[in-house]
Amino acid sequence: MTSVKQFKILHKDKKARVGKLTTPHGVIETPQFNPVGTQAAVKALGPRELKEIGAQIVLANTYHLMLRPGADLIAKFGGLHKFMGWDRPIMTDSGGFQVFSLGIALEHGGSKVLRQDENDNEQSSLNGAVRPRLNKITEEGVTFQSHLDGSKHIFTPESSIKIQHQLGADLIVAFDDHESAKHTKQEMQESLELTERWAIRSLKGLKRLKSRQLMYGVVHGGTHKDLRVRSAQFTDSNFDAIALGGIYGDKKTLCQIIEWSLGEVSQDKPRHLLGIGEVEDLFNGVEAGIDFFDCVAPTRRARFGSLYISPKAGGKRKDSFTLSIRQSRHTADKKPIDPNCACLTCLNFSRSYLRHLYFAKEILFHNLATYHNVYFILNLMKEIREAIKNDKFNKLKSGWV
């Protein structure tokens, strides 16, 4: 395993902490938000723009990249960094969530967990036909059919780690099973035990590859405190980085899960809340001691005309601090999205113009809206870091939530 000396806590304001994680492709300041680039691209933004808005790391998806264009091809380019023209840190997930959410979720007639993958084109059918159940879980791994063409594949802990090694990400994730909110506690315990066995195999796979990638172990256990505690203790004893997965439920439940889990892990290890990243979640997570977040919300919201605004600009908790550019009241609105925002979209364009672009279905809208949303979240994280350094986190949070 990679030494936790890569991660240093620089200052704490109660449980909230500022730190830095050193990787082969640069230093990441924490708390940090990872923009999601599912298919080696953050939707509507290029590497230059991501750097302009302050992105220090992006997250790519192992499942999608394995299917298209393929890990072997990306490896021929020297890994994801060279393939996508991004020279800062990259994190890849294990691919497990997508395998489970695209397949076994159908067992319960819906999404297994709250977290959603960023692929708006995923449908419940293949080539217009009713989609069959797409996966089968065994001790060995998960056999599944591609959502693209129906071809059969198998993901094992070893293959997931090998693919992530080929992709060359700085931070990777151990292969894990995923429970459903509709599963019984016994089923969740069995899932957790499988995740633990797969975690050990993931670690052995990484060791065989002689890789220096930092691997996250994933804490599961649903909404059961004893299972979360057990999983957190296991993960902490085996991994140098802690990820919280299998998150579902309301905001109160999320806070409970974080509290149960982080109460069992070492202070000097980075902690990532997988798939969570709305504004309120960021504040609650940081307050509890979370260091990293990732979420498709900024890019997905942008595509549907939902744009972030601060409380000073009228942003409200009940609206997730967004305005809808689709609303007619913005038809002749000369104001920027947020007068307090310093992004290039807000400095140069009105709400009226953006609304026009949205309804004209101009591609430019997606670029300008996404630029603003991702900038907004990254800038908020910067403000959070500064507040923690000055022991004023609670004051900042009270102005929002």
289 and 307 housed in the same domain = no
189 and 315 housed in the same domain = no
18 and 145 housed in the same domain = yes
Assess contact for 303 and 370: CB atoms under 8 A.
Answer: yes
Least confident of 34-43, 109-118, 363-372: 109-118
Choose, from 13, 93, 291, 333, the residue flagged as catalytic: 93
Evaluate if residue 38 carries a pLDDT over 50: yes
62 and 132 housed in the same domain = yes
Annotated catalytic residue 93: yes
- Of the pLDDT bands very low, low, confident and very high (cuts 50, 70, 90), residue 367 is very high
Choose, from 13, 177, 281, 294, the residue flagged as catalytic: 294
120 and 253 housed in the same domain = yes
287 and 329 housed in the same domain = no
28 and 66 housed in the same domain = yes
Q: What is the pLDDT of residues 200-234, one digit of tens each?
A: 999 999 999 999 999 999 999 999 999 999 999 99
165 and 82 housed in the same domain = yes
Q: Between 380 and 183, name the one with better pLDDT.
A: 380
Structural domain harbouring 105? 4-295
Sequence-ordered list of residues with C-beta below 8 angstroms from that of 67, at least 6 positions apart, any chain: 146, 148, 153
Q: What is the pLDDT of residues 163-176, one digit of tens each?
A: 999 999 999 999 99
Q: What are phi and psi of 77, to 5 degrees?
A: -85, -5
Last residue of a domain, one of 278, 295, 312: 295
198 and 227 housed in the same domain = yes
272 and 350 housed in the same domain = no
Last residue of a domain, one of 271, 295, 319: 295
Evaluate if residue 4 carries a pLDDT over 90: no
CATH code of residue 161: 3.20.20.105
Q: What are phi and psi of 90, to 5 degrees?
A: -130, 140
Residue 110: what pLDDT? 42
* Straight-line distance from the first to the last Cα atom of the chain, in angstroms, rounded to the nearest whole number: 38
278 and 323 housed in the same domain = no
Counted domains in the chain:
2
Strands (DSSP E) contained in 66-130 are 90-92, 125-126, 129-130
Q: What is the pLDDT of residues 288-337, one digit of tens each?
A: 999 999 999 999 999 999 999 999 999 999 999 999 999 999 999 999 99
195 and 265 housed in the same domain = yes
Evaluate if residue 256 carries a pLDDT over 90: yes
